A and B are shown apart, each in its own frame.
Chain A
Amino acid sequence: MTMLQVSVYRYNPETDNAPYMQEMQVDTGGRDLMVLDVLHLLKEQDSSLVFRRSCREGVCGSDGMNINGKNGLACIKPLSECVENNRLVLRPLPGLPVIRDLVVDMTQFYRQYEKIKPFLINDTPAPAIERLQSPEEREKLDGLYECILCACCSTACPSFWWNPDKFIGPSGLLQAYRFLADSRDTATRQRLAELDDPFSVFRCHGIMNCVNVCPKGLNPTKAIGKIRTMLLQQAT
């Protein structure tokens, strides 16, 4: 028996006055399981444990959580990369309201995403088949379009913790730049005008927590830098 000590955040607003950490033990059989597998083993022990999951392969972004102090996707985080001293601590994503156990209310996160108008805006007449892009233009979207909106980055960002209603956050800003950089989008000026306030973009102080935690290896800080450059170029 290879028992792993797991400490998991529990909170059921219907029965608990306050959240608490539940200590549990899981037999991993010596295998290097993913954290999501451990969660399923925990749920076999205690079916009242609640967490989100769907694709279990790092594509849907449902199971973002705080694993031993660092945000990540439970489904693609092997125990060998996060367990220290045979101990695994699981908490919900920080900064967002907890609905129950590891499930957080993502409303504020999605509201920021909504603000950046995450769709192509093009006021020129629609072509017969499709709007073409050169390989070079398409290349500009690499490192941007891959975002799965798991919220690991934004909930690791202190600026988002303090001002989740005003600061767009790394995830939303990465997406904002994805549309600013798109050759098929014609609303660049309006998009930039929406971002030129002291909070939306400029609350980023470049501490790069977002880059540190992104499970897809993306770089929101770099995208934010590019937005700043675009704002500066337009204004000077």
Chain B
Amino acid sequence: MVTAVTSFGRSGLYDWMMQRITAVVLAAYTLLIVGYLITTPDLTYAQWSGFFGHTWVRVFSLLTLLSIGAHSWIGLWQVSTDYIKQTGLRFVFQAVCGTLMFVYVVWGIQVIWGL
């Protein structure tokens, strides 16, 4: 058993499952937004704002945002453990990625929920 304290869930199976579940969420959200844009050709700000005023859209958007965070963390962690061989550099890369993701998630919540 190889130990890995910086991976998302510390378990290969958990990370693998999360990567797939979050991918399904991201795909579903993409379909929703693209579908909305196609069915609403003359989109106005009021319509767009109204669409995001629905609680279910906000909840779905928040779920998507969290999914992006988890999905990209697992992906970039794998990239870093493949290609960055120097431990210090890899740790810095992972720390920067982690911080960025946290910032994006908090900022995204602020935007979506209009806080």
A173 to chain B, nearest CB (A): 12
Is the CB–CB distance between A196 and B17 below 8 Å? no
9-residue interface stretch from A126-134, A141-149, A158-166: A158-166
Q: How many A-B residue pairs have CB under 8 A?
A: 50
- Answer yes or no: A51 CB below 8 A from chain B CBs: no
Chain B, Cβ-Cβ closest to A162: B82
A203 contact set on B, CB distance < 8 A: 78
B31 within 8 A of A: no
Taking CB atoms, residues of chain B closer than 8 Å to A199 are 2, 4, 12, 81
Q: Is the CB of A197 within 8 A of B17?
A: no
Q: How far is it, in angstroms, between the C-alpha of A193 and the C-alpha of B78 when the chains are bound? A: 21
Cβ-defined contact, B4 with A193, below 8 A: no
With the chains together, A166 CA to B85 CA distance in Å? 13
Q: Is A194 an interface residue (CB 8 A)?
A: yes
Smallest Cβ-Cβ distance to B9: which chain A residue: A198
Q: Are B82 and A159 in contact (CB under 8 A)?
A: yes
Q: Whole-angstrom distance between the alpha carbons of A203 and B12 in the complex?
A: 8
B1 touches A (CB below 8 Å): yes
Q: How far is the CB of B73 from chain A (nearest CB, A)?
A: 12
Contact B13 A235 (CB under 8 A): yes
A48 to B4: give the CA distance in the assembly, Å.
45
**Shortest beta-carbon distance, B7 to chain A, in Å?**
4
Q: How far is it, in angstroms, between the C-alpha of A199 and the C-alpha of B7 when the chains are bound?
A: 10
B83 within 8 A of A: yes
A56 within 8 A of B: no
Which of chain A's residues have a CB closer than 8 A to the CB of B12?
Answer: 195-202
Q: Is B49 an interface residue (CB 8 A)?
A: no
Task: Report how far A154 CA is from B8 CA in the complex, Å.
Answer: 26
Q: Which residue of A lies closest to B17 (CB)?
A: A232
Q: Within the complex, what minimum Cβ distance (angstroms) separates A192 from chain B?
A: 9
- In chain B, positions 60-114 with a C-beta closer than 8 Å to chain A are 78, 81-83
| Bound-complex Cα distance A198 to B11 (A) | 6
Other-chain contact of A196, B11, B78, B83 (Cβ < 8 Å): B11
Could you tell me which residues of chain B, from 1 to 41, have a CB within 8 Å of some CB in chain A?
1-4, 7, 10-13, 15-17
> Which one of B11, B78, B82, B83 lies within 8 Å of A197 (CB-CB)?
B11
Q: A202: which B residues are within 8 A, CB to CB?
A: 12-13, 15-16
Which residues from chain A contact B1 at a C-beta distance below 8 Å? 193-197, 200
The 8 Å CB contact of B7, one of A159, A162, A198, is A198
New A-B contacts (15) at CB < 8 Å, excluding given A198-B15, A201-B12: A162-B83, A163-B81, A195-B1, A196-B1, A196-B13, A197-B3, A197-B4, A197-B11, A198-B81, A199-B4, A199-B81, A200-B1, A200-B2, A200-B12, A228-B13
* 28 residue pairs A–B, Cβ–Cβ below 8 Å: A162-B81, A162-B83, A163-B81, A163-B82, A166-B2, A194-B1, A195-B1, A195-B12, A196-B11, A196-B12, A197-B11, A197-B12, A198-B4, A198-B10, A198-B12, A199-B2, A199-B4, A199-B12, A199-B81, A200-B2, A200-B12, A202-B12, A202-B13, A202-B15, A202-B16, A228-B13, A228-B16, A235-B13
